[in-house]
Amino acid sequence: MSGNSDDSANLNAAEHENGYDHDQDSLTVPLLSIQRSTPNNTSQVAIVGASICPIESLDYEIFENEFFKQDWRSREKIHIFQYIFMKWLLAFLIGLIVSLIGFCNNLAVENLAGVKFVVTSNMMLKGRYGIAFLVFSLSNLVLTLFASMITAFISPEAAGSGIPEVKAYLNGVDAPGIFSLRTLVVKVVGSVTAVSSSLLIGKAGPMVHTGACVASLLGQGGSRRYGLTWRWLRFFKNDRDRRDLVTCGAAAGIAASFRSPVGGVLFALEEMSSWWRSALLWRSFFSTAVVAIVLRALIDVCLSGKCGLFGTGGLIMFDVYSASISYHLVDVPPVLVLGVVGGILGSLYNFLLDKVLRLYNIINEKSAAYRIFLACSISIFTSCLLFGLPWLASCRACPSDASEACPTIGRSGNYKKFQCLPDQYNDLASLIFNTNDDAIRNLFSKNTDDEFHYSSMGVFFVTCFFLSIFSYGIVAPAGLFVPVIVTGASYGRFVGMLIGSHSNLNHGLYAVLGAASFLGGSMRMTVSLCVIILELTNNLLLLPLIMLVLLVSKTVADAFNGNIYDLIMKLKGFPYLETHAEPYMRQLTVGDVVTGPLQLFSGIEKVGNILHVLRNTKHNGFPVIDEPPISETPVLFGIILRAHLITLLKKKAFLSSPVRSNIDAFKQFSSVDFAKRGSGNGDRIEDIELTEEEKEMFIDLHPFTNASPYTVVETMSLAKALILFREVGLRHLLVIPKISGRSPVVGILTRHDFMPEHILSLHPLLEKSKWKRLRIRFPLLRKMF
């Protein structure tokens, strides 16, 4: 992939690979006979939201230097109490704020879209179809334009669902700006307007990103500018605590979208997080419990009719199955069929979405104007479809025993009048000329087995399937959950209609199972989706059927391709570290992938030297070596971080001669100086100005160097080094030589060195032994695209 790997290195690797099985002695000769000097530039940038950004790794490792140890020893019990109290307070605040945002979000969408549909319907009642279409499509266009403009110009990071970005963040990839206040505002406002504009996009994904944003901002809380609660938050100025907060935020986001507290926690656990602790389970559960309680209280208020059109919709929770249901073994085969077809459709969906996103990337790369134009085209196209397609459906007579008004006029409901006569309704309009939430509710509704015609359901399914693929990639906050649920539900209901009376299950139940199968086929989660669907439909008796359909659809879909979020992350270029090593990594040693040049510092280093190195490299960690006269032979002392070096330079705690400093150094600094600020707020080396005299002075790096870095011997298998790197959550892994006598450090491994593209570019012959996931491939299909 990277074009600049030198040939000699490859040749060396190839020789090594060929000689691997026969030449046993090769293990005792140093493998790094040719010291590579090419820096590893693969995967240093990625597409964040809609624009290309440089990315950094996060520091999850506990940084044990003398200074921090000293600081830690000086902490009192009150500080531990403060820390624990703040953890819980922040978890509470995350839940509270996310639930309020989620509620306002729904309220705004329901009222914006509601007013739009009421006005349009009223015009159609009067027969003014042309003007109705104009109003409908123009209002959609204006809303989409607004959403895409704020996204493109104010915060491109807010585009898309945000789940891939948050997932990458929780894996240790820091993309600038994804958790800024600007992104939060654009995400919320953009999501409301984009969803209101009748585009087939969801609001769950953006809610996850919103939750993560809220959590991250709370953790940074009251930055310097406002000086709020500074002292109590100081313990959260590191990536470990921030990761925990963001996990809680993501869980709260899903909980607020679906009013599904347990599902939210499980989603964060199963899909989002890369590291998980039992304590975090508890804390994120607390956040989602707060979300559930607050939402329940707010919805109680709304049910009394004080929230405009919201009150009638109920929203968020589609609790349509409070009645008891029964099913028997005869119902299992159709459910299995549903699972298999859902798996195939889901993987096809992923495949097509991937292709469309690649196409859109070419357009989006050009300029903001192109992006906005694309969004507007999709909006106009959608408006035409939504308004045009119902005309294809024939009007149906209202059922005499309908449980609600038929046709429904001026509010959400099952029986849309559209162009029909007073006692008739248009079944396709009930689905398509409606908000997504109402469409889902109609599809899930029971005792409406005769409401829809085959052709309407088929048209709706095809429309949703393709429209959602084309809508996701536009430059606006857009989620995937709701489109996938709508598509899956329509397909499930279609299958239910086909099976008809041969089954005990009603069509609404088939819609639920169809949604589950399509979600399973596309997103490949099991336990969390199962719980989310249970909490959505509020009936535990469905559990075995939903489990079955999810397991089947996931298994079938996994035979074809990967999970949708992983595909998007790969497309965006995030250096996501997988849990498992690929088999070819077992055939390589750590020494085979380490690339240079390596920058070392002495224990007591010249200021000018540090300044020069920091200005001329982008490395984030530097090994510190004790050399004679401090020690007898060169010995690895530890590793020091760029940010800490910058702080040292900024504070100018210099020594005039290269001798070890005394204890005074500790008094010049406080731990706050070394606290990690929010992404993008750190000090930059370019801002530091030193006089020539200062440059000739020295710094004693010992107290600020992490004296316990994780190390691997250069002959360590790459697969096992990856396991260490991933499980412990490292940013830098020092490689030490097997035979002493040379430099005490051979190199540093970072996240990028474990990326398959990098390894395969160094050792192209390994490509053939790449892990085949026993997947079914369609060479013809791949050639076509």
Residues 554-573 that bind a copy of itself (CB under 8 A): 554
Other beta carbons within 10 angstroms of residue 500's beta carbon come to 9
Q: What distance in Å separates the CA atoms of residue 471 and residue 460, rounded to the nearest whole number?
A: 16
We find the least distance from the C-beta atom of residue 633 to a copy of itself, in angstroms, to be 7
Q: Which two tokens stand for residue 614?
A: 């920091």
Which of the 8 DSSP states describes residue 742?
B
We find the least distance from the C-beta atom of residue 542 to a copy of itself, in angstroms, to be 11
Respond yes or no on whether the N-terminal peptide bond of residue 756 is cis (omega within 30° of 0). no
CA dist list (Å): 664 to 317, 622, 660, 667, 669 = 61, 24, 11, 5, 10
Site for a copy of itself in 327-356 (CB under 8 A): 328-329
We find the least distance from the C-beta atom of residue 209 to a copy of itself, in angstroms, to be 21
We find the least distance from the C-beta atom of residue 708 to a copy of itself, in angstroms, to be 4
Q: Which of 373, 381, 466, 710 binds a copy of itself (CB under 8 A)?
A: 710
Q: In this chain, which stretch among 350-358, 501-509, 539-547, 757-765 interacts with a copy of itself, using CB under 8 A?
A: 539-547
540 near a copy of itself (CB under 8 A): yes
Q: What distance in Å separates the CA atoms of residue 469 and residue 758, rounded to the nearest whole number?
A: 31
| Nearer CB in complex with a copy of itself: 641/716 | 716
Q: Which of 367, 394, 403, 579 binds a copy of itself (CB under 8 A)?
A: 579
Site for a copy of itself in 154-183 (CB under 8 A): none
Site for a copy of itself in 766-785 (CB under 8 A): 772, 774
667 near a copy of itself (CB under 8 A): no
We find the least distance from the C-beta atom of residue 287 to a copy of itself, in angstroms, to be 11
Handedness of CA 485, 488, 490, 495 (dihedral sign): negative
Residue (of 783, 355, 350, 756) closest to 561 by Cα position? 350
Site for a copy of itself in 469-508 (CB under 8 A): none
Q: What distance in Å separates the CA atoms of residue 386 and residue 334, rounded to the nearest whole number?
A: 31
Site for a copy of itself in 369-398 (CB under 8 A): none
Q: Which of 134, 499, 598, 723 binds a copy of itself (CB under 8 A)?
A: 723
301 near a copy of itself (CB under 8 A): no
CA dist list (Å): 612 to 192, 469, 605, 607, 636 = 49, 50, 12, 9, 22
| Nearer CB in complex with a copy of itself: 343/390 | 343
Site for a copy of itself in 73-112 (CB under 8 A): 73, 77, 80-81, 84
208 near a copy of itself (CB under 8 A): no
With residue 675 as reference, give the H or E element that holds it: none
CA dist list (Å): 81 to 88, 248, 574 = 11, 20, 37
Which of the 8 DSSP states describes residue 234?
G
We find the least distance from the C-beta atom of residue 67 to a copy of itself, in angstroms, to be 12
535 near a copy of itself (CB under 8 A): yes
Rg over CA atoms, the chain: 29
Q: What distance in Å separates the CA atoms of residue 356 and residue 494, rounded to the nearest whole number?
A: 26
We find the least distance from the C-beta atom of residue 566 to a copy of itself, in angstroms, to be 11
Determine contact, residues 755/57, Cβ cutoff 8 Å. no
The Cβ-side half-sphere exposure at 88, using a 13 Å CA radius, reads 6
Site for a copy of itself in 226-265 (CB under 8 A): 261-262, 265
Determine contact, residues 228/221, Cβ cutoff 8 Å. yes
577 near a copy of itself (CB under 8 A): no
The CA-CA-CA angle for residues 612, 617, 619, to 5°, reads 120
Phi/psi for 749 (5° steps) reads -100, 135
Q: In this chain, which stretch among 72-80, 143-151, 345-353, 474-482 interacts with a copy of itself, using CB under 8 A?
A: 72-80
Q: What distance in Å separates the CA atoms of residue 160 and residue 164, rounded to the nearest whole number?
A: 9
636 near a copy of itself (CB under 8 A): yes
We find the least distance from the C-beta atom of residue 308 to a copy of itself, in angstroms, to be 23
| Nearer CB in complex with a copy of itself: 246/292 | 292
Q: Which of 286, 433, 452, 622 binds a copy of itself (CB under 8 A)?
A: 286
Residue (of 87, 354, 360) closest to 232 by Cα position? 87
Determine contact, residues 56/750, Cβ cutoff 8 Å. no
739 near a copy of itself (CB under 8 A): yes
Site for a copy of itself in 2-31 (CB under 8 A): 21-22, 24-25, 27-28
Contact string (CB under 8 A) for a copy of itself, positions 310-329, x = contact? ------------x-x---xx
Q: Which of 358, 366, 586, 777 binds a copy of itself (CB under 8 A)?
A: 586
Determine contact, residues 562/353, Cβ cutoff 8 Å. no
| Nearer CB in complex with a copy of itself: 446/453 | 446
Q: What distance in Å separates the CA atoms of residue 694 and residue 656, rounded to the nearest whole number?
A: 9
| Nearer CB in complex with a copy of itself: 373/666 | 666
| Nearer CB in complex with a copy of itself: 65/468 | 65
We find the least distance from the C-beta atom of residue 547 to a copy of itself, in angstroms, to be 4
- Whose tokens are 């990967």? That residue is 562
Q: Which of 226, 741, 768, 784 binds a copy of itself (CB under 8 A)?
A: 741
Q: Strands of 747-749's sheet, edge to edge?
A: 711-713, 733-736, 747-749
